[in-house]
């Protein structure tokens, strides 16, 4: 038999009392409904229960319950409801069909809903603590287990200590209380999205997160999230780590990097300035020495000639060092100007070989050149390519005492199928020890063979060559076996034919 709804009685009830039509449209919003869910009677009237307080993922279940009430006249169940501010709560619901005294409305539904969140959380906490307490206490991070409504069911002692709460004080509290107030409303939305599509999110997933202690102080944290199926329903496990010390270290490291960058920039500017200033007097010294050696000012004794040759050789060596330093400074300062243009690798290689052939002839070495095709087109800076080849072929001649230096160019393809121009410089020198190869392209690196043989060099040629190669979008590699010579391979992107 249907019950007649009495609005005056409903307004005095401490629980939420709602009267709706058969499809769930609100007719009365009385009792504690306004307090519990946050909607006024005026705001709720005419809306549906689904729109107001049903959790989206529970819509199908709510429809089924509505049908059950209509079929059987009454139903009691526990469910999750959504408040106006997005908060979720557990409620006990008693629903029944009633007579309203208004025949036009037909059958109406009376919903009496009571907040049982605290009871449910305490019950679930006791059950889960018995199962997971020892495991959660064994972890080094703070662990918080929250239910679907976002209330803390279990917090291990690490989490309580981390946030400054007494044992058990966090149980039953909304997880938003662990966040700064400015982030709480946003977190409710994030939690709803996560609840709809739960997935594991590892620690340090690229999010800058802040937490709030009991005393109101904030600190940076990393949090991992994991969905957990339990006998009392789905839970979300959060592992929380205080990263204050790491953030402090990262900030100090960043400041130190800025200082080092500024110091490096100052060094680069100094090198560029000083290298330029030193080249002018050195060129004068080398020029006047050359004039004296040409005996334009009169004859020289053999001792004088040897001394002037030494001055000239030392001056040229120093000028080469200054030139390398200047180029290095420009590259590191980002002030080197490259002008890519269509080039023929064959023609440029032949020019470099021709300029260095006298050195090879003087040492009795064979300097051979072989090209796969008459023209190998690429798009690069002429000066940079020429300097790389001079360094590589010049080094091969310098460090080879007998045998030959062989230069070979060909078209090739990288692992992605892009066309390359490959130039390999092979020599029959002593080769390079394995332990020296890793450092060979570093600045001022000189192999043991060069040091023992007293071969002059700045130790910058290969370093500059690799930097220039990278600026050209290419690659410079080494293959060497000590006692059997070395092969340096330059690979640059192929380009259109030179005009």
- Residue 469 or 457, more confident: 469
3-state SS class at 19: strand
Tokens representing 125 are 């906490």
Regarding whether 288 and 205 lie in a shared domain, the answer is no
447 — pLDDT class (breaks 50, 70, 90):
low
Tokens of 416: 């992605």
pLDDT of 202 strictly over 50 = yes
Q: What is the DSSP letter of 441?
A: T
For residue 311, being part of any structural domain is answered with yes
CB contact set of 291 (below 8 Å; sequence gap of 6+): 297
By DSSP bridging, strand 3-4 and strand 88-99 are parallel
Does residue 1 register a pLDDT over 50? no
Structural domain range at position 345: 340-493
Note whether 187 and 287 are same-domain residues: no
What's the pLDDT band for 4 if we cut at 50, 70, 90? very low
> How does pLDDT run across 215-250, given as a tens digit for each residue?
999 999 998 888 999 999 899 999 999 999 988 998
Strands 108-115 and 88-99: antiparallel
Tokens 């997935």 correspond to 199
CB 447 within 8 A of CB 374: no
Alpha helices in 207-343 (DSSP H): 244-293, 302-332
Q: What is the pLDDT of residue 307?
A: 87
Predicted pLDDT at 444: 66
- The tokens describing 175, both together, are 């997880």
Question: How much is the pLDDT for 499?
Answer: 41
Per-residue confidence band for 298, with pLDDT thresholds at 50, 70 and 90: confident
Does pTM top 0.85 for this prediction?
no
94/158 same-domain check? no
Give the model confidence (pLDDT) of 117-164 as tens digits. 999 999 999 999 999 899 999 988 999 999 999 999 999 999 999 999
- pLDDT attached to residue 330: 73
- Residue 437's pLDDT is 83
Task: State which of 301, 332, 363 marks the end of a domain.
Answer: 332
71 found inside a domain: yes
Same domain, 313 and 355: no
Query: Of 189, 224, 242, which closes a domain?
Result: 242
d(CA 152, CA 482): 67
Flag the least confident range among 8-12, 194-198, 366-370, 462-466. 8-12
Tell me the per-residue pLDDT of 281-293, one tens digit each, with 9 for 90 and over. 888 888 888 888 8
CA torsion angle for 176, 182, 187, 188 (degrees, to 10)? 70
221 and 316 in a single domain? The answer is no
pLDDT band with cut points at 50, 70 and 90 for residue 3:
very low
The pLDDT of 422-447, averaged and rounded, is 83
Quick check: 329 pLDDT over 90?
no
Judged against a pLDDT cut of 90, whether residue 46 lies above it is answered with yes
Is the pLDDT assigned to residue 269 strictly greater than 80? no
Number of domains in the chain: 4
Kindly state whether residues 277 and 251 are assigned to the same domain: yes
Query: Does residue 498 belong to any structural domain of this protein?
Result: no
Q: What is the mean pLDDT of residues 402-416?
A: 93
Neighbouring-strand partners of residue 342: 379
Evaluate whether residue 499 is within a structural domain: no
Predicted local distance difference test score (pLDDT) of residue 2: 44
102 has a pLDDT exceeding 60: no
Q: What is the CATH number of the domain that holds 44?
A: 3.30.450.20
What SS3 state is found at 185?
Answer: helix
CB atoms within 10 A of CB 65: 17
Q: Report pLDDT for 457.
A: 55
* Same domain flag for 283 and 162: no
Residue 498 has pLDDT above 50, yes or no: no
Helix H or strand E encompassing 146: strand 142-146
The reply to whether 479 and 378 lie within a common domain is: yes
Angstrom CA distances, 350 to 374, 375, 381, 386, 424, stand at: 11, 11, 17, 11, 13
pLDDT for 48 beyond 50: yes
pLDDT-derived band at 410 (thresholds 50, 70, 90) equals: very high
Asked whether the CA dihedral 51, 55, 59, 63 is positive or negative, the reply is negative
Which position has the higher pLDDT, 243 or 449?
A: 243
> 124 and 256 share a domain?
no
CATH number reported for the structural domain that contains residue 276 in this entry: 1.10.287.130
Task: Give 313's pLDDT tier (boundaries 50, 70, 90).
Answer: confident
The pairs formed by 459-462 with CB atoms below 8 angstroms and a separation of 24 or more are: 460/321, 460/324, 460/325, 460/328, 461/324, 461/391, 461/394, 461/395, 462/391, 462/395
Same domain, 230 and 319: no
Last-in-domain residue among 95, 115, 135: 115
Residue scoring higher pLDDT (329 or 212): 212
Task: Tell me, yes or no, whether 171 and 313 share the same domain.
Answer: no
Q: Are 213 and 178 a contacting pair, CB within 8 Å? A: no
**Is the separation of the CB atoms in 44 and 26 below 8 Å?**
yes
Asked if 314 and 402 sit in the same domain, the reply is no
* 330-365 pLDDT tens trace: 777 676 778 899 999 999 999 999 989 989 999 999
- Top-confidence residue, 207 or 200: 200
**218 domain residue, yes or no:** yes
């Amino acid at each position: 038999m249907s019950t007649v709804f009495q609005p005056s009685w409903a307004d005095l009830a401490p629980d939420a009392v709602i009267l709706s039509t058969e499809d769930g449209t609100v007719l009365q919003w009385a009792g504690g409904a306004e307090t519990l869910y946050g909607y006024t009677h005026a705001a709720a009237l005419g809306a549906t229960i689904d729109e107001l307080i049903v959790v989206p993922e529970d819509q199908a279940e709510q429809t089924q319950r509505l049908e059950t009430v209509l079929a059987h006249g009454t139903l009691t169940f526990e469910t999750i409801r959504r408040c106006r501010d997005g908060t979720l709560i557990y409620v006990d619901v008693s629903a029944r069909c009633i007579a309203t005294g208004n025949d036009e409305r037909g059958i109406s539904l009376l919903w009496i809903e009571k907040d049982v969140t605290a009871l449910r959380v305490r019950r679930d906490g006791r059950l889960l603590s018995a199962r997971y307490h020892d495991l959660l206490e064994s972890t080094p991070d703070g662990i918080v287990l929250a239910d679907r409504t976002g209330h803390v069911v279990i917090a291990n002692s690490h989490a309580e200590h981390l946030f400054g709460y007494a044992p058990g004080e966090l149980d039953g509290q909304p997880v938003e209380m662990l966040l700064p107030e400015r982030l709480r409303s946003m977190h409710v939305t994030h939690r709803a999205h996560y609840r709809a599509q739960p997935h594991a999110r590892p620690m340090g997933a690229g999010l800058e997160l802040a937490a709030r202690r009991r005393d109101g102080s904030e600190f940076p944290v990393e949090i991992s999230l994991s969905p957990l199926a339990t006998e009392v329903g789905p839970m979300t496990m959060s592992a929380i780590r205080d990263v204050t010390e790491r953030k402090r270290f990262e900030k100090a490291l960043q400041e130190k990097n800025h200082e080092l960058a500024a110091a490096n920039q100052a060094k680069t500017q100094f090198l560029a300035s000083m290298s330029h200033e030193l080249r002018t007097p050195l060129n004068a010294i080398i020029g006047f020495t050359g004039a004296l050696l040409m005996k334009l000012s009169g004859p020289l004794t053999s001792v004088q000639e040897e001394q002037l040759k030494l001055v000239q050789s030392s001056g040229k060596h120093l000028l080469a060092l200054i030139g390398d330093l200047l180029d290095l400074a420009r590259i590191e300062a980002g002030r080197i100007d490259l002008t890519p243009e269509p080039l023929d690798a064959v023609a440029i290689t032949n020019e470099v070989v021709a300029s260095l052939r006298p050195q090879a002839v003087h040492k009795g070495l064979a300097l051979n050149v072989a090209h796969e095709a008459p023209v190998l087109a690429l798009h690069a800076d002429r000066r940079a390519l020429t300097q790389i080849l001079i360094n590589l072929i010049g080094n091969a001649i310098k460090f080879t005492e007998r045998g030959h230096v062989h230069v070979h160019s060909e078209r090739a393809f990288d692992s992605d199928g892009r066309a390359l121009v490959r130039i390999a410089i092979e020599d029959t020198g002593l080769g390079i020890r394995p332990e020296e190869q890793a450092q060979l392209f570093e600045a001022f690196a000189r192999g043991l063979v060069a040091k023992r043989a007293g071969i002059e060099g700045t130790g910058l040629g290969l370093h500059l060559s690799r930097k220039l190669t990278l600026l050209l979008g290419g690659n410079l590699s080494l293959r060497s076996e000590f006692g059997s010579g070395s092969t340096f391979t330059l690979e640059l992107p192929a380009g259109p034919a030179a005009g």
